[in-house]
Amino acid sequence: MEARFGIHWWRFTTAERDVDSVLDSIVGVSGGDFGSSESMGRFNQPSRYLHTTGTAVYFGSNREGQPIVIETPGEACEQLAVSDLATWADNCNGSVTRADVAVDVEPSAESRARLLEMRETFRRGDCDTRIPTTSTRWNEDDGEGQGCTLYVGSTQSDCMLRAYDRRGPLRLEWQFKPKHRVTRQAVPDALERYGAAGLWRNLARQCIWPMTWYQDLLCGQCADIASAPSRPDDLRRTLDSMVEQLGASFGALKLLGIEIGDLANFPKKPNREQMIRWEQWIVQAPELGYDPSALAYQVKKCRKRK
């Protein structure tokens, strides 16, 4: 099995007020050029500059604190190196508000069967996740080459999975919209250091299908034909060091593959195996820069919500 990991949408904001500085930073890294200013604004910005790759820079608001927004859609991402996207955000002290992280899984001949298998496994409740089975949608092939698409999760949540086969290979794409400032600022460094594969694998831990081929993707037991390295353990350490304490960001925890919901599900009288897992989390907390008391506090809060 072969897999190609990549970024297929990239949006970040910057507090930089000089739009020319932002444009120069992008051109300095990736080359190309920007056209003239256009009155085609978004994100509460009235104007935009469009790069030759299709990247748009939205600017021009007179409102205090309104950030400049840089957005690179799917087709533009395919023309750029993953490291370029990370460097843009890093040079601008950017905060990532959306990153679509995907893997294309070969062979294409098995895409539809695997997609159907994912759908049925999730509906039966055999997928290890806290996302409810009602939070799924299925778009059937219309017969015009559009393929089938499985959506897992809500468009309003910080993470949603799209799985589809319209391009041939099975694409598993996590749409990640971190909601906390700390998480947003951590993403560019993580992407630059450890590539799209490491980022995808940490996000994908929210839904773990039992199929062997999916497990191989999570564990790196596949022919990764992307150029970026993947070191999930180092990624975890890097991001953990950027979060001051456990309560700082649930989004950061998801990015690290740490499910706070798993902790919250622990019974008040756990068995021996559960106690061992609990102790491992507690022991791990200070090593990762977390306060163990904050860990216990968050678990208590989660239990109250249930």
Q: What is the pLDDT of residues 191-203, one digit of tens each?
A: 887 788 888 988 8
Q: Do 244 and 202 share a structural domain?
A: no
User: What does the pLDDT look like over 161-191, one tens digit per residue?
Assistant: 999 998 789 999 999 998 888 888 889 888 8
Q: Do 135 and 14 share a structural domain?
A: yes
Q: Do 176 and 278 share a structural domain?
A: no
In the chain, the number of structural domains is 2
Q: Do 26 and 98 share a structural domain?
A: yes
Chain centroid offset of residue 225 CA: 20
CB 223 within 8 A of CB 2: yes
Q: Do 179 and 273 share a structural domain?
A: no
What pTM does this model have? 0.72
Q: Do 187 and 57 share a structural domain?
A: yes
Query: What domain range is 289 assigned to?
Result: 236-305
- The residue whose two tokens read 């564990």 is 219
Q: Do 149 and 244 share a structural domain?
A: no
**Final residue before a domain boundary, out of 169, 198, 230:** 230
Q: Do 178 and 66 share a structural domain?
A: yes
Provide CB contacts within 8 A for 128, sequence distance 6+. Answer: 207, 208, 209, 210
> Whole-angstrom Cα distance, residue 52 to residue 54?
6
Q: Do 226 and 240 share a structural domain?
A: no
**Final residue before a domain boundary, out of 167, 200, 230:** 230
Which of the residue ranges 2-16, 19-33, 131-145 would you say has the lowest mean pLDDT?
131-145
SS3 call for 90: helix
Which range of 122-136, 224-238, 258-272 scores highest in mean pLDDT? It is 122-136
Q: Do 177 and 240 share a structural domain?
A: no
Q: Do 77 and 10 share a structural domain?
A: yes
Which range of 47-61, 177-191, 266-280, 282-296 scores highest in mean pLDDT? It is 47-61
**Final residue before a domain boundary, out of 230, 245, 271:** 230
Q: Do 161 and 225 share a structural domain?
A: yes
